[in-house]
């Protein structure tokens, strides 16, 4: 009987790729259309991390305007449409991503993406960034009936990728990633360079890294190579 391979599951925004420029660019396009002022990237970057609806609410709140639920839904649809046309204007992979992915694959780890971004956007963005083919599956917000922080988003991603659920690991930047992994009973590596309103060191990750140069050591320490053989 052939055993399933160990698997490393990655979040996308703020983990594999710096996407703030395009997300905030879309927010500013919506704000401008509504006659509101633009938000500097450095200020608005801290608003990312809880999803597009939260980003819209935070952006409008910063501009001094409240939104009704119906208005938020309408603006959310506009946001998704605009963002879908501007996925990779400024977005880019973090330094060391490609090398870390290739090193893990060479050691026998399967790779997958589990993101709260819509699947179609995630697939297109990773394709434009040149790394989509490195992942056994790319699962988004609507791929399953559940999404992070529900642990089933990760466990179903592992199953869809054909990875070993007993030798799985999550890599992410936010509370949703870390809480979902912990609830799924799998180890998690937190990255410090992503989008979170709480320092990732305080979220309970098993390991925390500040550069992808440190990822392979962190992954092999949590899912050792002798177990992955």
Alpha-carbon gap, residue 116 to 105, rounded angstroms: 24
Q: Are 111 and 105 spatial neighbours (Cβ–Cβ below 8 Å)? A: yes
CA–CA distances in Å: residue 219 to residues 64, 71, 157? 44, 43, 18
Domains of the chain, CATH where assigned:
7-18+91-228 (3.40.50.1000), 20-84 (1.10.150.240)
DSSP 89-122: SS-EEPTTHHHHHHHHHHTT-EEEEE-SS-HHHH
Residue 161: predicted pLDDT = 98
Cβ proximity of 126 and 113 under 8 Å: yes
Q: Which two tokens stand for residue 10?
A: 């990655």
Closest CA to 186 of 163, 209, 215, 211: 163
Cis peptide before 92 (omega within 30 of 0): no
How confident is the chain (229 residues) per 10-residue block, as mean pLDDT? 87 97 96 93 86 92 91 95 96 98 97 96 98 98 96 98 97 96 98 91 96 98 73
User: Measured between alpha carbons, how far is residue 22 from residues 25, 83, 107, 112, 151 in Å?
Assistant: 5, 7, 34, 23, 28
pTM of the model: 0.94
* Residue keyed to tokens 């140069």: 213
CB-count exposure of residue 117 (10 Å: 0-12, 13-18, 19+): buried
pLDDT of residue 228: 47
* Dihedral pair phi/psi, residue 186, rounded to 5°: -120, 150
Report, as residue numbers or ranges, the catalytic residues. Answer: 11
């Amino acid at each position: 009987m052939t055993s399933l391979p160990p698997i490393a599951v990655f979040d996308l925004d703020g983990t594999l790729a710096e996407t703030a420029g395009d997300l905030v660019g879309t927010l500013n396009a919506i704000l401008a259309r509504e006659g509101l002022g633009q938000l500097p990237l450095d200020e608005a970057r801290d608003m990312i991390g809880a999803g597009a609806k939260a980003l819209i609410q935070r952006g409008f709140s910063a501009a001094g305007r409240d939104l009704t639920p119906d208005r938020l839904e309408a603006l959310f649809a506009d946001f998704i449409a605009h963002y879908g046309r501007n996925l990779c204007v400024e977005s880019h992979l973090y330094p060391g991503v490609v090398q870390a992915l290739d090193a893990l694959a060479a050691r026998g780890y399967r790779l997958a993406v589990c993101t709260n971004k819509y699947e179609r956007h995630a697939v297109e963005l990773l394709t434009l960034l040149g790394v989509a083919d490195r992942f056994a599956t790319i699962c988004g917000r609507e791929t399953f009936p559940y999404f992070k922080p529900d642990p089933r988003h990760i466990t179903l991603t592992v199953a869809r990728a054909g990875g070993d659920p007993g030798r799985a690991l999550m890599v992410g930047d936010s509370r949703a990633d870390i809480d979902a992994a912990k609830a799924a009973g799998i180890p998690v590596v937190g990255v410090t360079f992503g989008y979170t309103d709480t320092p990732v060191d305080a979220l309970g990750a098993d390991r925390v890294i500040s550069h992808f140069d440190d990822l392979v050591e962190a992954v092999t320490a949590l899912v050792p190579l002798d177990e992955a053989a």
